[in-house]
Amino acid sequence: AIERTLSIIKPDAVGKNAIGAIFSRFEAAGLTIVATKMKHLSQAEAEGFYAEHRERGFFNDLVAFMTSGPVVVSALQGENAVLAHRDILGATNPKDAAPGTIRADFAVSIDENAAHGSDSTTSAAREIGYFFSELEVFARTR
């Protein structure tokens, strides 16, 4: 089915000047960027986005990292977009990420792992709505 998913290029990858390289991989995988913006998250915005991880030991470090510099948030659309996006990102820990995946190529650690992708269509709907209004998401027309 055609799905949408939320993608974040994290501060480490933005700092490596890799926005375009990562966008190219989305497009090469058949995903269309239907919304995008660059944003420096506030502490409250990062905490709200990652609310499901609030009780995890890594939560404070995660929020500190995600607010350390600008990120690029995008909504991607395509066939099976949630899994297709996660496949090209590779495993959360870049040490486990398959060769040729975004995390294998751009990330150094599980904390600074280059990119985030929604883990289900349910979280995708919440995460896209967290950053974009309906009018900011452009349905693919051709």
The β-bridge partners of 2 are 79
Amino acid identity, residue 6? Answer: L
Nearer to ligand CMP, 36 or 113 (CB): 113
DSSP 67: T
Q: Among all residues, whose Cβ is closest to ligand CMP? A: 116
Distances (CA, A) of 8 to 1, 141, 142: 22, 24, 25
Is 86 annotated as contributing to ligand binding?
yes
Is 58 annotated as contributing to ligand binding?
yes
Active site (catalytic) residues = 116
Residues forming the site for ligand CMP (CB under 6 A):
53, 58, 62, 92, 110-111, 113, 116
Is 113 annotated as contributing to ligand binding?
yes
Spatial contact of 14 and 71, defined as CB atoms under 8 Å apart: yes
Binding region: 10, 58, 86, 92, 103, 113
Binding region for ATP: 10, 58, 86, 92, 103, 113
